[in-house]
Amino acid sequence: MWFLAIEPLSSLTHAIPTNDQHDLYAHCLGSVLSDLGIRAEDGDADALFEHGLLLLHGHCVRENQSAGLLRLKTAAAKGHIEAAFVLGDLYADKSLRQLHDPNKAHQYLLFAAENNHLPAQHILGIILVRGDLGKDQQHHGLYWLGVAASQRHGLSAIIMGHLREHGKYGIEQDPCLARDWYELCLMLGMHEAIKFIQVIDTTHTCN
């Protein structure tokens, strides 16, 4: 389903500015890369994160996935929330067959989610509701999607509405609760949610 699909990784933008071409290529200057590498070797978490992304994506440096992942894991071990999110996002992506690992995804996303990282809360909710770690974890998925929605994450709110309206993935069907989520979507400016509300109102009377 489109509303439970995890978007492809775009986390490179967390480390590399995209305001203009000059800023982008500034990261490829030898002096900048040299300083970044030195700081990473010294254990600087931000440098480990940025250098890890460059290695992972082959930007400015030769692509080296294993070295990039190691940099990111080291940064995450030092408490770098964004590095944990990137790792969780990678391991959650089913299209990356060589990396897909629900347990590792859960480990890293949970750390980021517990530190109030909104996209991590959203993706963690998705993989748990989807049943990647078993049906007994779906209630945790609903919790995290709810947390994200309560912080004005519109996609999480619309997903909660669809899950409750249609009983997707074995979630208990509750059209009136779904209507409440769609009302939140309207408050968040997602005007297309009015169509979902109208459909529910034709068959149900909700208080």
Q: Is the pLDDT of residue 31 over 90?
A: no
pLDDT in tens, 143-166: 999 999 999 999 999 999 999 999
User: Could you tell me if 144 and 128 are in contact, meaning their C-beta atoms sit under 8 angstroms apart?
Assistant: yes
Q: What is the pLDDT of residue 194?
A: 94
Q: Is the pLDDT of residue 97 over 60?
A: yes
Least confident segment among 20-34, 37-51, 98-112, 182-196:
20-34
Q: What is the pLDDT of residue 60?
A: 84
Q: Output the six-digit token pair for 94.
A: 């089913």
Q: How confident is the model at residue 34 (pLDDT cuts 50, 70, 90)?
A: confident
- State the chain's mean pLDDT as an integer: 87
Q: How confident is the model at residue 141 (pLDDT cuts 50, 70, 90)?
A: very high
CA distance 151 to 198: 25
Q: Output the six-digit token pair for 141.
A: 């998925």
Task: Of 66, 71, 4, 58, give the one whose Cα is nearest residue 27.
Answer: 58
Q: Is the pLDDT of residue 17 over 60?
A: no
Percent of the chain scoring above 90 in pLDDT:
73
What's the rounded mean pLDDT across residues 18-35? 62
Q: What is the pLDDT of residue 8?
A: 33
- Whether pTM > 0.85 for this model: the answer is no
CA distance 54 to 63: 8
CA distance 187 to 183: 6
Q: Output the six-digit token pair for 203.
A: 């068959």
Helix (H, G, I), strand (E, B) or coil at 6: coil
